[in-house]
A and B are shown apart, each in its own frame.
Chain A
Amino acid sequence: GAGVSQTPSNKVTEKGKYVELRCDPISGHTALYWYRQSLGQGPEFLIYFQGTGAADDSGLPNDRFFAVRPEGSVSTLKIQRTERGDSAVYLCASSATSGGPPWAAQYFGPGTRLLVL
């Protein structure tokens, strides 16, 4: 079946602009995660959705970052007033867990590479 998909695959923007990054999880997966991966680093957690609600947004770096998942499927990560330091690969993952075992596998998308000039 189809895996996690993310669009766009690449995004170049100018400092100060607004961007939206989209994630389509695996059908039926209730849990959705956003991570950010800077060059030479491992992914860092941003936010976790269980259904439509953000169960944990403790990884969002500041209030310029916001994410939604209005129907419990597709999610959009929104970044306002982008800064050069926001340049990274933004990864989305989904999981079939629904408040169950924390070791349920997370399936990752290919990522969106964001470059802020």
Chain B
Amino acid sequence: GDSVTQMEGPVTLSEEAFLTINCTYTATGYPSLFWYVQYPGEGLQLLLKATKADDKGSNKGFEATYRKETTSFHLEKGSVQVSDSAVYFCALTGAGANSKLTFGKGITLSVRP
């Protein structure tokens, strides 16, 4: 079945550092790919998405590119802020009509001032 693998965490960075969070997936067909974020005390929010190969999703300075050849969707940000401290989940929906999400384990990011 479909699966998502995220790099092991947690990750701690200093403010203004460069961020990369790795995500790879296994799926049949052409899934859609997502990054969700959960800020402390809040619910899951969609951060960005990409629906086909080579698409780049972007939001709030974060970017991720759908790489079919490497089955990856790595999340990047050039300069993190303290307010980016959260748990980040990579997820996919299958190619069929059922749009249930399959999530990775999530990774906790802490940004120090």
Contact = CB atoms under 8 A, between A and B. Distances in A.
Interface in A92-112: 93, 95, 97, 99, 101-111
A58 to B, nearest CB: 9
Given A102-B32, A103-B49, A110 B43 contact: yes
Tier of interface size on chain A: 20 to 34
Contacts of B44: 43, 91, 93, 108
Interface of B: 4, 32, 34, 36, 42-46, 49, 51, 89, 91, 93-106
A59 interface: yes
B99 A42 contact: no
B101 A106 contact: yes
A48 B96 CA distance: 14
Given A42-B104, A103-B51, A95 B99 contact: yes
Interface of A: 3-4, 31, 33, 35, 40-45, 48, 55-56, 59, 91, 93, 95, 97, 99, 101-111
Contact of B99 (A4, A102, A110, A111): A102
Given A103-B93, A106-B46, A108-B45, A43 B101 contact: yes
Nearest to B9: A40
